[in-house]
Structure 1
Amino acid sequence: MRISTQSFYEQSLQAMGLQQQKLFKVQQQLATNSKFLSAGDDPVGAARALGVGQTLAESAQFTTSRQRAALALSTEENALNSVTAILQNVKTLVVQAGGGGLSDADRGSIATAIQSSLEQLVGVANSDNGNGQYLFAGFKSGSPPFVMAAGGGVQYVGDQGERLMQIDVARQMSTSDDGRSIFQSVQGGAGYVASSASANTGSGVFGAVSTTDATAANYGKDFTIRFTGTDYTVMTKDTPPVLAASGPFTAGKPISFGGVQVAISGTPANGDSFDVSTAKNAGTDIFAALGELVTALRAPLNGGGEAAQAQLRNALSTANVKVTNAHDNVLTVISSVGSRQVELEALDSAAAMNKLQEESYLSSIENLDPYTAISEFYQRQASLQATQMTFARLNSISLFNYL
């Protein structure tokens, strides 16, 4: 069969072009360390690689979110640690104020120190994250959550919104706690708080309130102990009030009612009264409690007699319980923050292991076997050279060479 010169050249060029194309593809695979250069090379493998790549990208986004959440929680933890230090210092000052032999000036100095602690506490409660976002303002993070009220005291103007962050496929985490739940709340198990009426004229001083029977019918209600002559009556604060207990008063003997008991020493005057209320109804605002404590310490006692001394002792006892309840509440929030930080660390650890597995799987799909690829490269190179040499030899053949 005769092959025209044109057909010979076309077929030879086509063969060499095909060999060069295959060689170039292997070179690209070696350069990119990838089995396929386009989805057309391996549609199934490309689809799998795309899915794994998307999973890794999503995981990277969650990792970034967890880092941001960890930073926010760490900032909150630092602020709450400052709060606990302030409250511990206040408790120490309350104990000092209850010591004997203090003058009005001494108590005034302690009141000034507590007032300074109150101002520090407000400052910490209005902490921000360094970017102008207030930590304890809820969703209203653009402005300070605590402001001085017109009539005195501190008012919360934030809200109770939780700033949630998506930290995993099916997990959202709160990265903040609102100021009301930290500074104006107590734990459900905080118990009872006793206080004396400001109009009391006797020397009655209450002791600690203890629980005797949490299953009692009136347990969990608020009570008022009122003295009439040498007798007492205990009424609930229901509407209408219900008699919880009554009897003759004996100084230092516990008075039992509603599953709790409290001992009152001294001599209450006719008409004196004491409140025994659950912590949540006794006033949960730590700023208000410190303000009341400062006022009590600045009231002069010289010439006030036993009644004034009793009022001070009762005020200190009430303040001590309220500060302790607030301190316990903050510690609970810190524990919650710590639990969330532990969860973030666990998710990071799991994500790191998953990332290694996904990357290994992606490598098995995409990455080139260098030994196989190099072997194929040399094979393609040899094939191209053989085709070129064949073309050159055949192209040089002519009948004139045999004449």
Structure 2
Amino acid sequence: MRIASSTLYQLGLASMNSQQGALMHVQQQLGTGNRILTPSDDPVGSTRALIVSQSNAINNQYATSRKQANTNLSMELNSLNSVTTVIQNIQTLVVQAGNGTMSDADRASMASSLQDAYNQLLGLANADDGNGQFLFAGYQSATPPFSKNGSGAVQYGGDTGQQLLQVDVARQMPTNDNGYSIFMSVQNTATYVASAPAGNTGTATFSAVSVTDPTNPDYGKNLSINFATDTVTGKMQYQLMDNSSTPPAPIGTPIDYTDGAGIQIGGLSLSVTGAPKDGDVVNLQPAQQAGTDIFANLQAAITALNKPIVSDADRAALSNVLATTNRKMANSLDNVSTVQSSVGSRMQELDALDTIGSNRTLNYKQTLSGLQDLDYYSAITEYYQRQTALQAAQQSFMQIQGMNLFKYM
């Protein structure tokens, strides 16, 4: 069988190209450190590596979301810490304002201090993140959540939404709390609030309310203590009332009033001192029904302190307003503390998710390393083998070039 010289040349050239291509492939592997340069090198391994890379990219996005969530919650927590400090200062001022030795000027000065605290509290309620996004506006983060209406009362202009971030595969986390739930609400566990209407004309003042029997059938209702003189005996009496019903229903029969004696009503206990007059009332309301607006509560105290004291009735009215303010402020502080705890818990959860995410990233990297990373020992051995094979192919081609009959003629 005759073999043409051109065929020999083509075979030799093809062998050298093949060996050179294999050598260059190994060189590229050594240069990049990757075993798989193209999907054809390992179709199964390439597919698995792509899936792992995508999973790792998603995990990294979760990490970015957690970082943003942590930033938002940190700013909120800092603001809430300041709110707590302001409320505690307000409580201190309210207690000081109850000092019976103060003059009208002293009380006006105290009212001025409370007004400064009021403005500070309003500023904190309208805190933003430094980029014009308000922390406590819900979804309406582009506009200030709190503003004053025409009568000077603070109103909430945001909504009750919470912005969510996907911080892990199955976890969407709220990264803010709306201002209504912080400054206009109290916890369901908040205690009763005692208050006296502005129309009271006597000198009766009430003590703090304590819960004695939460199983009482009237517990949780809107209650009141109504004072009136017995037309027969001429003694001052009080009638316990259930204001939750329509019309309000009396609880039991009228009881003779004793200055400073304890009064039991609906599982609650308090004492009333002083001399009430006909028509005077002490209201006992669940905290959620007694007015939960922290700004309105504080404004009531400021207004009362700016009013001159002319009579003992005025002094009693101020004492009652301050007592109500103090109770409501305590309820507001408990509410803010609950939100603080929630924010802290979410930040703690983010730390735990970060640890899990870091471990997941490490696993992904190890898997990718097993699929893609080059075994340098094997690659260097193959490199020298390919190099030797290429040199052999080159030498063979040189020998074939020398096979010419004309050399022997």
TM-score interval w.r.t. the shorter chain?
Answer: over 0.9
CA distance in 2, matches of 1:52, 1:368: 17
CA distance in 1, matches of 2:349, 2:249: 49
Name the amino acid aligned to 1:382.
T
Aligned partner of residue 394 in structure 1, secondary structure: helix
Question: Is structure 2 residue 242 aligned with structure 1 residue 242?
Answer: no
Structure 1 residue 244: Cα displacement: 2.2
Aligned partner of residue 66 in structure 1, secondary structure: helix
Unaligned runs of at least 5 residues, structure 2: 230-235
Structure 1 residue 396: Cα displacement: 2.4
> Per-residue displacement from partner, 1:189-210 (whole Å, max 9, x unpaired)?
1110001121212111100111
1:190-229, aligned counterparts within 5 Å?
Answer: 190-229=190-229
Structure 1 residue 40: Cα displacement: 1.5
Q: Report the identity percentage.
A: 48
TM-score (ref. length: structure 2): 0.96
Structure 1 residue 384: Cα displacement: 0.2
Aligned partner of residue 337 in structure 1, secondary structure: helix
Question: Is structure 2 residue 377 aligned with structure 1 residue 386?
Answer: no
The alignment of Structure 1 onto Structure 2 pairs a total of residues equal to 401
CA distance in 2, matches of 1:103, 1:147: 33
Structure 1 residue 152: Cα displacement: 2.0
Structure 1 residue 347: Cα displacement: 0.5
Paired residues of 2:8 and 2:400 also in contact (CA < 8 A): no
CA distance in 1, matches of 2:105, 2:316: 18
Paired residues of 2:305 and 2:318 also in contact (CA < 8 A): yes
Q: In the alignment, which residue of structure 2 is the partner of 1:321?
A: 327
Aligned partner of residue 336 in structure 1, secondary structure: helix
CA distance in 1, matches of 2:67, 2:223: 49
Structure 1 residue 42: Cα displacement: 1.0
Question: Is structure 2 residue 29 aligned with structure 1 residue 55?
Answer: no
Name the amino acid aligned to 1:374.
I
1:26-175, aligned counterparts within 5 Å?
Answer: 26-175=26-175
Point out 4+ residue stretches in structure 1 off by more than 2 angstroms: 396-403
CA distance in 1, matches of 2:211, 2:126: 37
Q: In the alignment, which residue of structure 1 is the partner of 2:302?
A: 294
Paired residues of 1:185 and 1:285 also in contact (CA < 8 A): yes
Q: Which moved more, 1:133-142 or 1:283-292?
A: 133-142
1:227-266, aligned counterparts within 5 Å?
Answer: 227-229=227-229, 230-237=236-243, 238-245=245-252, 246-266=254-274
Paired residues of 1:218 and 1:244 also in contact (CA < 8 A): no
Name the amino acid aligned to 1:147.
S
Structure 1 residue 3: Cα displacement: 2.6
Aligned partner of residue 40 in structure 1, secondary structure: helix
CA distance in 2, matches of 1:202, 1:66: 59
Unaligned runs of at least 5 residues, structure 1: none
> Per-residue displacement from partner, 1:91-140 (whole Å, max 9, x unpaired)?
11011111231111011001000011101111111111111111111111
Q: In the alignment, which residue of structure 2 is the partner of 1:274?
A: 282
CA distance in 2, matches of 1:63, 1:391: 59
Q: In the alignment, which residue of structure 1 is the partner of 2:233?
A: none
Aligned partner of residue 41 in structure 2, secondary structure: coil
CA distance in 2, matches of 1:362, 1:261: 69
Structure 1 residue 305: Cα displacement: 2.6
CA distance in 2, matches of 1:37, 1:386: 27
